[in-house]
Structure 1
């Protein structure tokens, strides 16, 4: 539709508003010719979701309801006769954009008093399936109208049946509304823009040179649609601060707009006269005014996005041309016989790789060094996603789900059918296959192996017999995005968790595994858990006494005997996609999705990401690993000595299963079906997501499944292989693809594409906890402020933190307490009576020492 036609449509809708509204937007005027038998339709309420009634007031003072694209909405009112009495048990058609759509969106039945209460997300009490408000004539925003119509003499396809037993005439009413879209702000990272003439091709630049800039890349996207918000103005301020948070540059104001895809590049300019060497923080404060058509998740038209990005800024003269050709770089040591030993250290440098004697008669010791490691034993390939895999209780069988891999909202964008397959582990042959209900996203075996529980994206749980695959019963859990489920160790209960879907809150629920009867709903009582409607993963302790739930940046532990919350551990980086107790219950592993400040309904993205292992007794982090691709799954070895994590499709960790020593965090081995060098830029879509992962309960055997590419089931077993030493970093100049043991001689990468942003800034920073941890930082743990056991904080970390904090950001000014462990956990006070509660929070640079 052309711009002029669209404008005419909006003007028509606004004209309807002017005609229909009096003192209120509650519409009570039927737009039909009145007759003796003509009923009147009254709309008392039209609004978003089930109970939201936002309105828009234009420059002329006209007030109209606001509905959101991609979301549910409701209409309430009454059908009355000319005496004002309700007309009961009549079917009404509901249309959106009635001048264009002749087919109704839904139908609703009036009750005995003629009233109707219709919600598009509820279908049990109506004759219509659940519905959301899609784009209207291709437009995500604009003015439109809803029509409620009584059409007893008309045959309407997809609508009410003709009412032959009535003498009432047709009647309808049109209600104008403003269609808005909620937006999300994606932080795509920061890169360096050198000034003209500055180059980093021949020598590595330590930072940005004077006259250059740091560029923050953002994208504004429509919530529930992976589409950018185009050509939209925004304003932002930039400023430089030193390591103590003091401003060292002027505050610059900027005005710009997004491009046609919603992307925008925001420059923090470094003055050409800025001098001299400097390390500090760059800060962007952005305000996006989307009025009247766009709003944030909180419903406010002005979407504020404050970004504190730490950046190493080195200000010095650009290198002279002669400096670009220094030849003091390390040379690759010669290794003529290719045995992994440089000539300078090799007793027989001219021996052939597999020869005992070189051309000069020099003998080398003929020994073959071996190491036990996982190797690919076999694979079963498919033409589409294999999303889930799990062994039964004794490992004799495993089950797979063949359905499109998805998370949260993405499951509703591209739903697929699901096939459940059972396999014999020893022969790796399929025993049984059956089509199952819905888009299945999770599977768990009962402890005795007699049943499996399946969870669909719309939170329906189905219990299937594993002998014949037939469904025994099914039930619906909370009305939100399905996330995870798990049998209790004794097989009597099922824990089911779900995540917020934009309207319905996520829940933690426990059901009977025998008949699906509801047992318990758990509500977090942790006051600082901001996102307590988002739950993504669940696990029972092996002894069945505790229940563990993973949310957004926090996990919660419950006591099963009384369902009381034992603790909540926060600062966990981002989405906890999977979590699990170790078999010996001493550790907790968390598999974490891509980094975000706030949850997204999409839950899709690449990097960075983390995996973490916690001490199960204290809740403190034992170790963590930052990956370039989102973590999708995890599995413990049966002896609790190792833990494996599988990843999505981006960069170094793409398509990888990384196996770590669970105690030390040292990576033991990487398993992959394609080299990660292929998984950059446009090549990402040619790489696999390792979506399914499980470790055999009694053997050194791992089974994994892949989606997006290289679809299939993969079996990995431990074998003794010959040691091949060399550089194992695929981004190094001297990378040896055959090496399985790193020789410590990897050279610097020629190019890292895309560049990896390595945090290098102050050890401690203070940031608003509602924005999440700054990139490269984690919450400062309470324990680090007490180097020696004492009532008062002490030690190097405490002294350093106190030296960089403003005195009003310390909890107890008399005793200089930085951490209030009794009341607020990590929060650092900002003593402002108007703030209501402390949002200023202390964060520590990952892996930094307090002496640095």
Structure 2
């Protein structure tokens, strides 16, 4: 009898897990998902029922605001005060990614169903719509990432790997396609613009990082060494070094000019490096594996501090520094948290689609 009961409970657990994963995938793949909510200013708990998906975050260049996006649209939080977010309304569909222009006046949002919308960050007014599905073969194209060039003239996008393994460059004023960067053999999972030069980095499931000339589209270097998926890439503030995070449990630092490997960072506590970020002051690298946010000292390669997060079940996963390097925003387990970098403490949870979840804490690293 006990054996039969155990078998039934095991089967039920497997069924529930499969159903949950299927619902998550269906929601992320549904390009027609509506995201409108009434009201200009709304409370997070009124906007987010339990089963929504938070998919990306981005700090404004002045650090005063944090954009949060998902299947509910775009919310803009003032990071200086505990207040209601501003709802940016000019979006329909699942917003998969978000980025600010360098001057902070424009918000670029990537809609899953193949369009990039440029919005006035102050008014929410639609400035430009870029349609990535201009060709017959782009019918099933999904945009899963967007970023803005340091000069504010170009938008780059990455896409679902089953259909497209390229990065596309778009003119921010005209919305026209400038060029396409082709070379990866599997899905592109991360990309970044170099802050000091016109170089684009892309990380891929093909285990490599590619460095591209943004003006010509020429492939400059292929950085090989990771043994599993490369999930995320980020440039140092001076543009001389790029860090890549991988599911092989390492962070690798590369020389941008030569393509040579400089350092490899790892620790037995790391499960993966799904998101990486360089602090604007150049002294610290943050990595996030779905369980813990690690802060690394760039000079020594040692872990300075660990922020205990909750395990990510749904939504996106990301960690970003504020422009003054004093605050970290993290996206995981379907919620967004703000952390003080030094001495290290949880400041507050901005938004959450979860209920009855365990508490967050900071773990000081004593021996790394």
Q: TM-score, normalised by structure 1?
A: 0.33
Alignment pair present for 1:483 and 2:107? no
Match of 2:337 among 714, 719, 744: 714
Match of 1:637 among 240, 260, 279: 279
Contact 2:309 2:332 in 1 (8 A): no
Matches within 5 A, 1:782-821: none
Contact 1:556 1:569 in 2 (8 A): yes
Match of 1:388 among 56, 61, 65: 56
What is the deviation of 1:496? 1.4
Structure 1 pair 476–572 and aligned structure 2 pair: CA distance change class (3 A): farther
Cα shift readout 1:256-296 (whole Å, capped 9, x = no counterpart): xxxxxxxxxxxxxxxxxxxxxxxxxxxxxxxxxxxxxxxxx
Alignment pair present for 1:462 and 2:98? no
Structure 1 pair 514–584 and aligned structure 2 pair: CA distance change class (3 A): same
Cα shift readout 1:281-335 (whole Å, capped 9, x = no counterpart): xxxxxxxxxxxxxxxxxxxxxxxxxxxxxxxxxxxxxxxxxxxxxxxxxxxxxxx
- Name the SS of the counterpart of 1:664 in structure 2: coil
Match of 1:432 among 77, 80, 86: 86
- Name the SS of the counterpart of 1:563 in structure 2: coil
Cα shift readout 1:683-705 (whole Å, capped 9, x = no counterpart): x86xx887232111124111122
CA distance in 2, matches of 1:518, 1:712: 34
What is the deviation of 1:719? 4.8
Matches within 5 A, 1:364-443: 383=50, 384-401=52-69, 403=70, 417-435=71-89, 436-443=91-98
- Provide the residue aligned with 1:617 in structure 2: 257
Contact 1:643 1:661 in 2 (8 A): yes
Structure 1 pair 582–741 and aligned structure 2 pair: CA distance change class (3 A): closer
Match of 1:569 among 223, 226, 242: 223
Alignment pair present for 1:671 and 2:295? no
CA distance in 1, matches of 2:99, 2:125: 16
Match of 1:657 among 269, 290, 293: 293
What is the deviation of 1:645? 1.1
What is the deviation of 1:670? 0.6
- Provide the residue aligned with 1:700 in structure 2: 326
Gaps of 5+ in 1: 1-224, 227-379, 404-416, 525-530, 595-607, 649-653, 722-736, 745-852
What is the deviation of 1:668? 1.0
Contact 1:499 1:533 in 2 (8 A): no
Contact 1:493 1:511 in 2 (8 A): yes
Structure 1 pair 623–664 and aligned structure 2 pair: CA distance change class (3 A): farther
- Name the SS of the counterpart of 1:429 in structure 2: coil
CA distance in 1, matches of 2:230, 2:103: 28
- Provide the residue aligned with 1:522 in structure 2: 181
Query: Which structure has greater strand proportion?
Result: 2
CA distance in 2, matches of 1:638, 1:743: 26
CA distance in 1, matches of 2:365, 2:179: 51
Structure 1 pair 561–506 and aligned structure 2 pair: CA distance change class (3 A): closer
Higher gyration radius (CA): 1
CA distance in 1, matches of 2:111, 2:102: 21
CA distance in 2, matches of 1:562, 1:536: 22
Structure 1 pair 739–635 and aligned structure 2 pair: CA distance change class (3 A): closer
Contact 2:74 2:95 in 1 (8 A): no
CA distance in 2, matches of 1:697, 1:611: 22
What is the deviation of 1:388? 1.7
CA distance in 2, matches of 1:700, 1:549: 27
Ranked by relative contact order (alpha carbons within 8 Å, sequence separation 6 or more), the top structure is 2
Structure 1 pair 630–456 and aligned structure 2 pair: CA distance change class (3 A): farther
Structure 1 pair 422–532 and aligned structure 2 pair: CA distance change class (3 A): same
- Cα RMSD for the two superposed structures: 3.0
CA distance in 2, matches of 1:581, 1:699: 15
Alignment pair present for 1:511 and 2:167? no
- Provide the residue aligned with 1:448 in structure 2: 103
Alignment pair present for 1:474 and 2:111? no
Matches within 5 A, 1:330-345: none
Contact 1:657 1:690 in 2 (8 A): no
CA distance in 2, matches of 1:712, 1:464: 24
Contact 2:54 2:335 in 1 (8 A): yes
CA distance in 2, matches of 1:579, 1:511: 21
- Provide the residue aligned with 1:369 in structure 2: none
